[in-house]
Each structure stands twice: as C-alpha cells, then as structure tokens.
A and B are shown apart, each in its own frame.
Chain A
C-alpha cells in the first residue's frame, strides 16, 4: 500500500481548505466503517486522510420543537438513543437498528451513511421520506441541498471537492402520520438490503382519506428513489385493496434494478411491488 498522509484539522474551515487543496487525492474520515474497507481493498486514487473528529460543530443533535438538526458526525447508535428522534422520527430508529451490527453502529456516522451514497443504505433511505435538508460547507460557502437532490449515482453525490456535509435537518411530520420501514434480505442482521422500502402516510383527519403519502425505495436503481407517481395515486383517496395494489404497481414500474450477487433484477422488481403494498397496508393500519 502506498504511503498515506494524515491531517486532523481543528475546525471546519481548516478541513474545507485541506480537502479542497487535496482534491481527488484526499478523503474525509468520519466513522471509517466504509473508508477502511475500501482502503484495505487495495490501491486507491487517493493518498491522504483528513480526520474530521476534531470538528465539534459537526457533533450532536438539536431540536427546537419543529425542526431537528443531526450533526453529520453523530454516531448511528447515538441517534438511535436520542429521545426526540425516537418520538418524532421513529422509523429512522427502526432503519438504524438494521444497519450493520451493534459494533458498526457504534462507529459509523449519519453523515457517512449519506455521503457513501449506497443505493441500499438503510438510514439514508428514511431521510428521503422525511424530506431532510442537508447542510453543506465548502470553499464557496454554505449551502442546503434537499436529500432527494443529493445523489447522482452509486457512490456519487453533488458534493464538490472540499465540500463537507455538516448536518441533516428535518421537520416533524404531521402528528397523525404513520411511517413504516421494510428491509428485505436473506438474513435478519448484518445484511445489505436486496430491496428496502420506507413509507409515510398522513391521513386526512376525520375522514377515510389519505391526505398525503410518501414512498422511497432503495437498492433498485442507481440512486435511492422517491416514487412520486405512486404517491400521487394515493393522495386524497379512500384506501381500498385496489388503491394500494395500483400504487404498488406504479412503484414497480418506476424502478430500474440490476442483477448482482445478492439478487436478480426481476426478483427485486417483484419485491418492490410486494413490499410497497405491505408497507402501505401496515402504515394505514386496516379499517378506520
């Protein structure tokens, strides 16, 4: 392995300046659960590591009653233990429980799960249905990007050289909303999803109507997807088996999976239909 250079910047601006000077030659280190595996897999086109651990401004969770802000360096297990996250964003905790193993959740960070940009990521998928906004700092200043505009391909994001994801911010959904996260794999723990689905349904109070539905799927396209057509088909409708089946069919039609070692494209496509319907049924909770 070639020699690696190493830095521990003491603040965000120093880290941005280091990473923008290094360009493709540098990699930020957060938890490292993905970076170290890649490093061990052999020669890379980068030779410098910028450890972000000294950036205290990227740590911690803040809640103002309406919006929660999760620092990018927050460990997955710390997010799971946060009482505001548990109360208002419960399926984020559910998805996090299926990320890796307890040991990995004690190392891996929320920002890393997003920036690694795996189409199969569990926690990142749920940020799509909570319509999270990502805080980014870079050489040209700060910007906010909606999470659905963050990914450009597998392992690819809109982050430019020198830009660092600093936090994730989400608004509390309407209190009567119900979310469901479903992960499909060959085993219960330490699994990369064949397909994962997250849904959030907001009923119209006092009626049998769905006011709004949000559906996101992972591992079935080059990036994680919000399924707008399927969502629209549910908006302002009365829930029946046919309506849910129709939404599930639209979901299946919207994905573009591949064959790989974990599954075939055909199976993944079929599972999108089955799991979307199942998630919607569970979120709606039967008769009202």
Chain B
C-alpha cells in the first residue's frame, strides 16, 4: 500500500507516494535526493539524520514519512550552501571541527536549533544540547568551541 502525501521541506511542498513503513529519512534521501541528511545507525542512536521539525531537532530515522505530514521540515540543504555558509558551518570549518564530516549535517541542525532557542548557552548547555549527535573523529572539543564561538557573535 502506497500513500500519497505532501511534505513541507525547506519551505517547499513535495508530493510523494510512500509505503507506510518508509521513514522521513529514507524519503529525503531516496525520493527527494536531499542526501545532505545522513543515515548512520537508522535507530535513533547517532543523530546523523537530525532534521528540524517545526524548529526542533528530531531523528528523521524515527519518524514515518506519513507522520511528517503537516510539519515544517528543515534539512541541511535549507540553511546554507557553499555560496553562503550558515555562521555555524563557518565556525565549524574555522575551528577544524570537521574531520570525516559524516556527523556534521546533523550537528549543524542540532546546533542551529540550540542557538535559535538559547542564543547564549553555557558550555554545559552546549554539551547537553549535542548529546544526541555522535562524532567519532573530533572528541567534541572543537565542536563545542565552534558553537560557543558563534554564540558570542
């Protein structure tokens, strides 16, 4: 059974036909070619698939596409690009907080939601805020420094 749905992603409406069990993550990557959102563990552990739903970070691998109807979804493609990076992306680059880069889109989305709701977080708040984004390269120190740097500007 495929269900026709409309999803609002990065301000645009997309019409797709999806099986019930297909996740928002799979629709983003496979149907809409929005491959900036990464598939890591596919079970809500790693945060690589983080997108914003009505402004809040969520694991897109734990949300059925049919359940995302009526929500405003923002992906990494919606907040910056090579021509004009988001300040969070600029800070991650400047601080060397990117190595393999696989966790980066998810981290950027989480950091954006954090700073949107709390523009001047403490370091503890930053660390708690990104607790759902695993990074196996950086050890988090540079990531935390980058987010703190953005919060000071």
Identify the A interface with B (CB < 8 A).
Answer: 1, 3-6, 29, 32-33, 36-37, 39-40, 49, 51, 53, 77, 97, 100-104, 106-107, 188-190
Contacts and interface: CB of A to CB of B under 8 A. Distances in A.
Contact of B64 (A32, A101, A188, A190): A32
B137 interface: no
Nearest to A188: B131
A3 B1 contact: yes
A238 B64 CA distance: 54
Contact of B20 (A5, A53, A188, A190): A5
A3 B20 CA distance: 8
Given A4-B19, A39-B21, A103 B63 contact: no
Nearest to A36: B62
Nearest to A31: B62
Contacts of B23: 36
A32 B67 CA distance: 10
A39 to B, nearest CB: 6
Contacts, number: 83
B42 A40 contact: yes
Give the size range of B's interface with the partner: 20 to 34
Nearest to B23: A36
Which one of B21, B43, B110 has the highest number of Cβ atoms from chain A below 10 Å of its Cβ? B21
24 contacts: A1-B21, A3-B19, A4-B19, A5-B1, A6-B20, A6-B66, A32-B62, A32-B67, A33-B44, A33-B62, A36-B44, A36-B64, A37-B43, A40-B43, A49-B20, A51-B66, A51-B67, A101-B59, A102-B57, A103-B50, A106-B53, A106-B56, A106-B57, A107-B63
Given A4-B19, A101-B131, 4 more contacts: A4-B21, A36-B63, A103-B132, A107-B62
A232 B75 CA distance: 54
Given A51-B67, A101-B131, A107 B58 contact: yes
Contacts of B61: 36
A281 B148 CA distance: 37
A97 B127 CA distance: 13
Contacts of B59: 33, 101, 103-104, 107
B64 A29 contact: yes
Contact of B67 (A29, A102, A189): A29
Contact of B131 (A5, A36, A189): A189
A184 to B, nearest CB: 18
Contact of A104 (B19, B20, B62): B62
Given A1-B21, A190-B45, A190-B132, A103 B66 contact: no
Contacts of B66: 6, 51
